[in-house]
Amino acid sequence: MRYLISVSYDGSKLYGFQRLNHHKTVQGELERVLTKINKTIVYVKGAGRTDRGVHARDQQVHFDLNVDIPPERLVNAMNSMLDDAIYVNKAQIVNDDFHARFDVKKKTYEYIINTGKYDPIINDYEYNYNRKLNISSMKRAAKHLIGAHSYQVFTSGERESYNSIIYKITISKKKDKIILRFTGKSFYRYMVRNLVGTLIMVGEGKIKDSDVAKMVDTKKCKINYTTAPANGLYLIKVDYK
């Protein structure tokens, strides 16, 4: 029987999503617990692989079990055994051909920047940037990133295709916090963090929104942006419809 679960986790306490031999990861913890419940080895597939330090409110994960267990009981059983940095929000039974990654329609990520006074308590959960940014300029630049494009200049590493669609980018401010929210079809390695790093440069006045448009249109990067730290990034939602 195939199950789909929604999982939240504190990325600062884990070495990312992907299973590693000598470090605690989301995938490793889920498989450890599910193998105990199933009494045979269980492998899980996530909607995406978040890096070390990245958090999640709604990571989606599917797996198969030999035992027939009601979703609510499964949630309770898993949460009683999981590391405190990981929590299963809910579970449901899905079709046997469902895939947590390949069936994704869109994902939403959120990035939080603290532009106020340095706060050591939030350092694992927000980017302590601690300087002012021009949000109006950042919003203008963000408009150039929306749509169907090649995002090669914002992606780390090599892959066959860099094409994707960003449906929406919102930038809001709550007191000293700037929250950037990205909703799109696919986000590749470091892509959101690179987009944030580029938009920060716009907010600093180091580059113009027209420079961002050129990066998208020409698929070339002549701007040495900095990848934003992992600690400010959250996987907020995964949609399958």
Q: Does the active-site annotation cover 51?
A: yes
Distance CA 41, CA 21 (A): 16
Report strand pairing: 45-46 vs 86-94: unpaired
Question: Residues 24, 14: contact at Cβ < 8 Å?
Answer: yes
Locus of tokens 């051909």: 97
Catalytic residue selected from 10, 51, 64, 103: 51
Per-residue pLDDT tens listing for the chain (241 residues): 999 999 999 999 999 999 998 999 999 999 999 999 999 999 999 999 999 999 999 999 999 999 999 999 999 999 999 999 999 999 999 999 999 999 999 999 999 999 999 999 999 999 999 999 999 999 999 999 999 999 999 998 889 899 999 999 999 999 999 999 999 999 999 999 999 999 999 999 999 999 999 999 887 777 889 999 999 999 999 999 9
Read off the pTM: 0.94
CATH numbers and ranges of domains, the chain: 2-94 (3.30.70.580), 106-239 (3.30.70.660)
83: Cβ contacts below 8 Å, ≥ 6 apart: 13, 14, 24, 29
